[in-house]
Amino acid sequence: DFQNWFQRYQTAANALNNREEAIAAAASAIEVDLILAGLTAVEDKLQEGVPKAIATLRCAGIKIWLLTGDKQATALSTAQAASLVNMPQTSTVDSNSVSQSIAATMTTWDFSETTQQQLNQRTHMIYYGSQLIEMNQRLGAFQLFLSDSKWG
């Protein structure tokens, strides 16, 4: 799909007549059924209004991930301050062998329709720094996990 669109865009960008309109039409063709993804960084104490903002995002159907470089206790404390751990589908990975825990989690998820429905019901996971590093080092497990999960 992207290659077809990109070819259309290149044709529009090289058009001698009505270039702006052709580019706008090409842009409109690709900007449908998009998944909004965002990232924010938080340092130290959460600012006032963060839990309410997170609740608003959740009501809009946006999935929330907390990625932290801290220890698990700090990650959970931050998640609690941000009103994330009160959610019924919040999961944490707690294991001396993080790779085994992640592998076990990933292999139990087949991302079937049922699992996708569960994901759409605000499933949340909390990983902390050393886990993310290990996931990334183990043959791109984090990248594979994200691409297979179909999470927004």
| pLDDT tens-digit readout, 90-107 | 455 544 444 454 445 444
**Looking at residues 49-63, what average pLDDT do you find?**
80
pTM of the predicted model, to two decimals? 0.39
Residue of 6 and 34 predicted with greater confidence:
6
Q: How confident is the model at residue 135 (pLDDT cuts 50, 70, 90)?
A: low
Reported confidence tier of residue 56, pLDDT bands at 50, 70, 90:
confident
Averaged over 28-34, what is the pLDDT? 78
40 and 49 Cβ atoms separated by less than 8 Å: no
Mean pLDDT over residues 65-84, rounded?
71
Assign 66 to helix, strand or coil.
Answer: strand
CA-atom Rg of the chain in angstroms: 20
Which of 38, 20, 40 has its CA nearest to residue 28?
Answer: 20
